[in-house]
Amino acid sequence: MIPVQGYSGATVAVLGLGRSGLSAARALREGGAEVIAWDDNEAARDNAQAEGFAIADLSKQGALDGAAVLIVSPGIPHLYPQPNKVVRAAWEAGVPVDNDISLFFRSFATSEWDNFERIPKIIAVTGSNGKSTTSALIHHILEHAQRPTQLAGNIGRGVLDMDPAIDGEVVVLELSSYQTDLARALTPDVAVFTNLSPDHLDRHHGMGGYFAAKRRLFSEGGPDRCIIGVDEDEGQYLANQMAGGATDDRVIRVSSGRKLTGDGWNVFAKKGFLAEWRKGKQMASIDLRAVPGLPGAHNHQNACAAYAACRSVGLAPRVIEAAFHSFAGLPHRSQLVGEKDGVKFVNDSKATNVDSAAKALQAFTNIRWICGGLEKEGGLGGLLPHLGGVTKAYVIGREAANFAMQLGDLPHEVCTDMATAVARAAADAVKGDTVLLAPAAASFDQYDNFERRGEDFIAQVETLTKA
């Protein structure tokens, strides 16, 4: 645990008692704060009360009197689509609103660091797609290189549940827009921006607000090194804003699919090869085509970002390359889960939006595509140009018929449930085909989360391949 500094003897209010909220409450108490907490869910309140936390309805008049700060869990809206009533009450009472990410950045460094030979570093990763894989890959490379490292944030443990840093450690954080948007303190040593595509637009009041939440990690974080994907205009803009000139190597530009030129520090993947160029000279080249845990152009972009981040903390290209080959990938992200009679079954349940599904579809050929679920804002229009490798779609979800209507002339079958979709796709498939789950939709119409959806796919595939 990371004890929270700066609030010893003070009263701190915590709103939301899920994983991050309860973790924050514990770390605050460990640092000497008096915690009052609230969650609209009775079971969550009971769990916190069982741990000895004082429970009070923070929306009541005067509940925030004397509070030094209100800590808000990331899932609770603090501005759009409308502020939570407790957040509004904090505004009116003049109580600062903050989150656990900020508490971490304020508390991570301690006086013990004065005795370290190498000061610990923080690599923070944000973006729309690929940030989980990029974060996990950076962590894996560091482990391979025998560097002390921890992985936390939106993946793995909560930030305040980590162990205090040791000499030379590198902490890798995956940070969502919900987490960066509110944090008052953001001070990573290395910040990574993977890419940007429409997502969570209601929460951020449109693409501008969504990008602004991501940009805060850089503009307010002031990292020593910025790793920025420049395949979208927003990334180009951000790189331009953070660099002092064309040769400023505090910014490493990253791309998948095109060669980056110029005298700066560039890492890009083209035709399956990663290349690092610095000051007009090529420094390294890695063949990514034979790396089983990183299939497709989208994973090659993740590899470039992870490579650049690890180069920023002093790792050699050949060390990074060796680590690539032992990376198994993450569950539910282009995960090979079975093979039978020359047909591969790939689980990309994490492809919950059009952009991530498009990237998954571009990674394979001869695709039997399982798709559908709770459709996100904007429809499937952006996906239609990427269906050239799809032989047939098998649509699941409560509104499968409506989803299927947007697929145009693509051959499709309305299956509704996962078991039917897997069975029908497997029956139609021939040697060389890939049965790919890449839903391009949220899972909440049929499952609690995308993990449960992916687990159902895996279970159906296991039943089929063992038969």
Beginning with the edge strand found earlier in the chain, give each strand of the sheet holding 190-193 in spatial order. 149-153, 170-174, 121-126, 190-193, 225-229, 251-256, 265-270, 273-278, 281-287
Find out whether 227 and 193 touch, Cβ atoms under 8 Å: yes
Q: How far is CA 270 from CA 274, 289, 291, 301, 446, in A?
A: 7, 11, 15, 10, 38
Backbone angles phi, psi at 339, to 5 degrees: -155, 135
Residue 128 is given by DSSP the state S
H-run or E-run covering 319: helix 317-325
CA torsion sign for 7, 75, 158, 141 is negative
3-class SS at 203? helix
With 0-12 / 13-18 / 19 or more C-beta atoms within 10 angstroms meaning exposed / middle / buried, residue 227 is buried
Find out whether 61 and 104 touch, Cβ atoms under 8 Å: no
3-class SS at 302? helix
Q: Helix, strand, coil % (nearest 5) of the chain?
A: 35, 20, 40
CA torsion sign for 295, 298, 300, 305 is negative
Find out whether 128 and 315 touch, Cβ atoms under 8 Å: no
Q: Is 131 part of any known ligand binding site? A: yes
Find out whether 232 and 195 touch, Cβ atoms under 8 Å: yes
Strand partners, 394: 370, 413
H-run or E-run covering 27: helix 19-30
The tokens describing 108, both together, are: 């991570």
Q: Is 129 part of any known ligand binding site? A: yes
Amino acid in position 92: E
The tokens describing 298, both together, are: 């989208």
Q: Is 127 part of any known ligand binding site? A: yes
The Cα 34–Cα 244 span in angstroms is: 45
Q: Is 133 part of any known ligand binding site? A: yes
3-class SS at 205? coil
Q: Is 135 part of any known ligand binding site? A: no
What is the bridge-based pairing of β-strands 343-347 and 367-371? unpaired
Q: Which residues are annotated as a binding site for ATP?
A: 127-133
Q: Which residues are annotated as a binding site?
A: 127-133
